[in-house]
């Protein structure tokens, strides 16, 4: 039996062969290339997204640097009214005794205590009042918190302790003088010496005999002052 291949059959065979070549070419060349392109595109998109994240972080760092600079400037401005932490006892003595003498008081004694980290007594009073107001609400929670004390002890031990930038020393002065002179002393401390604060004082009658053997009646004034000193970042880190 003879098979006659017509011209039309030859064209169909050529077309089938071409289609087969295209399919094979697509499966083994074009498809892997497209998959590779898609993989590279995904990697490029991921790298571009990462770059944007880095740029955002860099911009945030610049903002943080600005905030740090602003905070340092604000700290320097706020600390101007405080004394430096390296203030010597002799300098404290000179400052307080000088104010007393300027207002006509005659200092008899001055006792100074070493400065220690702390907060102003007025601030502590406000905090204590707030804690007292909230104690009624937290008393019921305290019972339930007892069961978790063991688990929180380990956590609390790892908490970062805050840095104390304010140190407070105390001075107790006894001086002779009139009540008006002591009031002038108080006014001057309040308006001119922001790093000093009178916390309490007492006034008592005081009689003595002067050099001319005459009896003199005056007042013996005893006052306690807080001396606020500011510690710099370098000193706090040390």
Q: At what angle do helices 89-102 and 179-192 cross, to 10 degrees?
A: 130
Q: What is the pLDDT of residues 199-208, one digit of tens each?
A: 999 999 988 8
Place of tokens 């840095």: 163
> Is the pLDDT at 86 greater than 70, yes or no?
no
Report the share of the chain in percent with pLDDT over 90. Answer: 21
**SS3 letters for the chain?**
CCCCCCHHHHHHHHHHHHHHHHHHHHHHHHHHHHHHHHHHHHHHHHHHHHHHHHHHHHHHHHHHHHHHHHHHHHHHHHHCCCEECCCCHHHHHHHHHHHHHHCCCEEEEEEECCCEECCCHHHHHHHHHHHHHHHHHHHHHHHHHHCCHHHHHHHHHCCCCCCCCEEEEEEEEEEEECHHHHHHHHHHHHHHCCCEEEEEEEEEEEEEECCCCCEEEEEEEEEEEEEEEECCHHHHHC
Average pLDDT, the chain: 75
pTM for this model (two decimals): 0.50
Tell me, what's the pLDDT at 137? 52
Check residues 43 and 71 and name the one with the higher pLDDT: 43
Which homologous superfamily does the CATH classification assign to the domain defined by 83-133+163-237? Ribosomal protein S6/Translation elongation factor EF1B (3.30.70.60)
What span, in angstroms and rounded, lies between the C-alpha atoms of 27 and 21? 10
> Is the pLDDT at 163 greater than 80, yes or no?
no
What span, in angstroms and rounded, lies between the C-alpha atoms of 70 and 76? 10
Residue boundaries of the structural domains of the chain: 7-80, 83-133+163-237
Tell me, what's the pLDDT at 106? 93
Q: What is the pLDDT of residues 14-65, one digit of tens each?
A: 787 787 777 777 677 777 777 787 888 888 889 989 888 888 888 887 777 7
Q: 94-103, 185-194, 207-216: which range is least confident on average?
A: 207-216
> Is the pLDDT at 79 greater than 70, yes or no?
no
CB-side neighbour CA atoms (13 Å) of 49? 6
Tell me, what's the pLDDT at 230? 73
- For 45-55, b/e burial (b = at least 16 CB within 10 A) is eeeeeeeeeee
Tell me, what's the pLDDT at 147? 47
> Is the pLDDT at 151 greater than 50, yes or no?
no
């Amino acid at each position: 039996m003879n098979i006659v291949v017509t011209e039309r059959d030859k064209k169909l065979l050529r077309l089938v062969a071409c289609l087969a070549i295209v399919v094979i070419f697509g499966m083994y060349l074009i498809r892997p290339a497209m998959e590779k392109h898609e993989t590279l595109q995904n990697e490029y998109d991921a790298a571009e997204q990462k770059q944007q994240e880095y740029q955002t972080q860099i911009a945030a760092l610049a903002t943080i640097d600005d905030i740090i600079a602003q905070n340092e400037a604000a700290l320097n401005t706020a600390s101007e009214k405080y004394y430096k932490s390296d203030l010597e006892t002799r300098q404290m003595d000179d400052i307080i005794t000088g104010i007393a003498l300027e207002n006509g008081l005659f200092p008899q004694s001055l006792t100074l205590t070493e400065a220690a980290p702390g907060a102003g007594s007025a601030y502590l009073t406000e905090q204590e009042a707030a804690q007292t107001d909230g104690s009624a609400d937290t008393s019921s929670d305290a019972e339930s918190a007892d069961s978790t004390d063991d688990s929180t002890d380990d956590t609390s031990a790892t908490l970062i302790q805050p840095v104390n930038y304010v140190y407070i020393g105390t001075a107790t002065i006894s001086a002779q003088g009139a009540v008006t002179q002591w009031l002038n002393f108080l006014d001057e401390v309040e308006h001119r010496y922001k790093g000093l604060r009178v916390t309490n004082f007492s006034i008592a009658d005081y009689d003595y005999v002067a050099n001319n053997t005459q009896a003199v009646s005056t007042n013996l004034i005893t006052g306690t002052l807080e001396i606020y000193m500011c510690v710099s970042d370098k000193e706090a880190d040390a």
